[in-house]
Structure 1
Amino acid sequence: MRKRLSMFKGKSVAFTSIVLSAMLALSACGSSGTPAGEAQTPSPAATDGGKKQEVSEVRVGYIPDLNGAPPIVLGEEKGFFKEEGVKVTPVKFLSGPPEFQAMAAGDLDIAYIGPGATFLAAQGKGTILMPMSFSLSDMVLATKKSGITDWKDLKGKTVGVPKGTSGEMILNLGLEKGGLKPSDVNIVNMDVAGAVTSFVANKVDAVAIWSPYTAEIEKQVGKDNMIKLGDNKTFYPDYVFPASWVVNPKFLKEKPEAVEKFLRAWIKANDYKLQNVDETIKLTANYTQVPEDSLREQRTGIEWMESKKIAEALQDGTANKWYENLEKLFVATEKMTEIVPADKFVAPQPFLNASK
């Protein structure tokens, strides 16, 4: 990776000697040796017109996959952040809930989240700026040894799942489909690393996770030794699962101009990504150290949205309906007590302003 991009990488620690070690990393500090919570003095940057503008610093949470990383990678590599007067400090996470914790602590400004963490935004812990894609790759897998072949067979079994994620959402929908309640199953909260290794070692009967970790399981145990119970498509069209970008409400209130600068750069990166998929995969692989093959497998499980379509969904209220429909699931699984109107936690105007 070019020198300027490598400066922005968070530190990562391999957790096993297999390929999975290249795919997963511990949450890390900000880049360039700057702690995520430590601000720097903004410096002037040249605009295309040769004028000086103040550089806005934004601490951004990303997940090292083909959904969460490309805006950071392309924004830096293609100079989109520099063009818009934004200095991004990226911070690596493996799921959404820890990002909200970091925002609550004042250590994070903007972050990418999967659909499973949407309930935390609905609870007021973050403000959704926009949806950016639909997840198609969350699934529940059972070991062949477990004897599970149907959702109803999960009763009394042990299932590993990173709680508060889209994997848990698919699991809960599957349990309902099988006439079961979460209390009918021994659900164990695990990070993605633990879920994969536990499945491979037959320490759990099933797991609820997503690509590329599902592909890693298949590589290690073989397709014949795993049973796919269902995925996102199993519950379509009743449920769609939008991944989103969220902002710390305090940061949005205090620095709306910085948010719009970031979004203008984000839109450029998103449009570039859609037109240059192969290059995006290569650059993202270098940045995240996730093998290109794994990222290409992820691509089949993601439905990306054009920036224009995102703006339309925000403007006509379609996006709000997506989120409120997800809330029904959160209420049913007791993550929320009631459905909160989406306009209470979705702020479309910054993206609409940036897209003009």
Structure 2
Amino acid sequence: MRRCLAILVVVLLLAGCSAAREGSEQSGAPPGEVRIGYMPNLTHAQAVLGVAEGTFARHLGVPVRPRLFTSGSAALQALFAGEVDLLYIGPAPALQGYLRSDGDALRVIAGAASGGSVLVLRPDVDRDDLRGTRLATPGIGNSQDAALRYLLMQEGWRTRERGGDVTVSPMAPAEILTLFSRGELDGAWVAEPWGSRLIAEAGGVLAIDERELWPDGTVPTTLVAVRPGFLSEQPEAVRRFLEAHVSLTREIQADPDGSRERVRQALAELQGRPLSDLVMADAWARVDFTFDPMADAVAELADRAFRAGLLGASRPDLTSLYDLTLLQEVAP
């Protein structure tokens, strides 16, 4: 009898704890932690610094659990699985995630970077004739992949899956560097610092700085997205995160040289080795950091991705892609 009463007491206590947790969530209590996804690239510099220097954790007032990815496609899958709350992501995978989920998977709440996306070729490859070449991007449907496929379409070159002779293979940036160094790839469209590394470490030649392909040079490279559920349940946490993101962006804009060295040191911790001064300087010069959501440029990119066959059979409706309410409050 005593044993049954003891079990009953434990059950009631556990039920009470569960109810208390549910009540605190509904009342908007702070989260126990915030999960932030990003890539170890220059184009994700605010995330790199925000995690490495503790800026996010200080603003949020709770622990931050970082999650590193090598491609936007992998980051998107983690978002679908509910494994991250906030995510630095390229516009192409953000668009795909939004459309594939009928707008349920994410909301874009800020921009992060423009530029820093390049096509690097071997010296013996003709930029004006890519027929028969072996090219690589960091992932199928990611922003660099979309840019490359749109270029091929514009120039009249077809990929092998469309009956042509241009091979486009998805692979991690480190693998791209290795295969390019061995002569097993003719070129790659990648984000910085990988483009500058292909040039400095593997003898590549800069064929295209993607900014040259856009009317005003504003090519959206990195956006900040949030799970809608997290946004609705934890608006104060999202606000504090945006305060950190805007603060980091302004620091980079105000002190580009000092910020470049801070990012260089943080990337060395993530990648196991520091980037050379030459690579870092060249790569950094190709990126513009911003919190502007670049909505017009993203709409143009969506149109290009659609024409390249990456966004389905219907023109995308981006009506609910953005929720900029908190950004406008943080950075009016």
TM range (shorter): 0.7 to 0.9
Contact 2:180 2:187 in 1 (8 A): yes
Question: Equivalent residue for 1:230?
Answer: 208
Return the letter of the residue paired with 1:108.
V
Question: Equivalent residue for 2:14?
Answer: none
Contact 1:174 1:230 in 2 (8 A): no
What is the SS of the residue equivalent to 2:98? helix
Q: CA deviation at 1:326?
A: 1.0
Deviations 1:80-117 (A, max 9, x none): 64245343222222222211111111110101112342
1:203 maps to which of 167, 172, 184? 184
Q: CA deviation at 1:139?
A: 2.2
Classify 1:77/1:214 alpha carbon distance in 2 versus 1 (closer, same or farther; 3 Å): closer
Return the letter of the residue paired with 1:168.
D
1:291 maps to which of 265, 275, 290? 275
Classify 1:149/1:227 alpha carbon distance in 2 versus 1 (closer, same or farther; 3 Å): farther
Return the letter of the residue paired with 2:158.
K
What is the SS of the residue equivalent to 1:144? coil
Deviates more, 1:275-284 or 1:74-83: 74-83
What is the SS of the residue equivalent to 2:211? helix
Question: Equivalent residue for 1:330?
Answer: 305
What is the SS of the residue equivalent to 2:96? helix
Contact 1:138 1:208 in 2 (8 A): yes
How far apart in 1 are the matches of 2:198 and 2:59?
41
How far apart in 2 are the matches of 1:139 and 1:93?
19
Question: Equivalent residue for 1:31?
Answer: none
Question: Equivalent residue for 1:150?
Answer: 127
Question: Equivalent residue for 2:285?
Answer: 300
CA RMSD, 1 decimal:
2.6
Contact 1:80 1:268 in 2 (8 A): no
- Gapped runs of 5+ residues in structure 1? 1-40, 42-52
Question: Equivalent residue for 1:350?
Answer: 326
Return the letter of the residue paired with 2:170.
N
Classify 1:266/1:142 alpha carbon distance in 2 versus 1 (closer, same or farther; 3 Å): closer
Contact 1:122 1:345 in 2 (8 A): yes
Question: Equivalent residue for 1:26?
Answer: none
Classify 1:213/1:344 alpha carbon distance in 2 versus 1 (closer, same or farther; 3 Å): same
> In the alignment, is residue 212 of structure 1 matched against residue 193 of structure 2?
yes
Question: Equivalent residue for 2:271?
Answer: none
Question: Equivalent residue for 1:82?
Answer: 58
> In the alignment, is residue 174 of structure 1 matched against residue 159 of structure 2?
no
Return the letter of the residue paired with 1:111.
L
- Give 1 or 2 for the bigger CA radius of gyration: 2
How far apart in 2 are the matches of 1:93 and 1:218?
23
- Gapped runs of 5+ residues in structure 2? 1-20, 22-28, 269-273
What is the SS of the residue equivalent to 1:245? strand
How many residue pairs match? The answer is 288
Contact 1:96 1:114 in 2 (8 A): yes
Classify 1:266/1:296 alpha carbon distance in 2 versus 1 (closer, same or farther; 3 Å): same
What is the SS of the residue equivalent to 1:344? coil
2:109 maps to which of 91, 105, 129? 129
Question: Equivalent residue for 1:35?
Answer: none
How far apart in 1 are the matches of 2:300 and 2:70?
25
Give the TM-score of the pair, scaled to structure 1. 0.72
Question: Equivalent residue for 2:41?
Answer: 65
Classify 1:345/1:117 alpha carbon distance in 2 versus 1 (closer, same or farther; 3 Å): same
Give the TM-score of the pair, scaled to structure 2. 0.77
- Percent of matched pairs sharing the same residue: 22
Larger relative contact order, structure 1 or 2 (CA cutoff 8 Å, min sep 6): 2
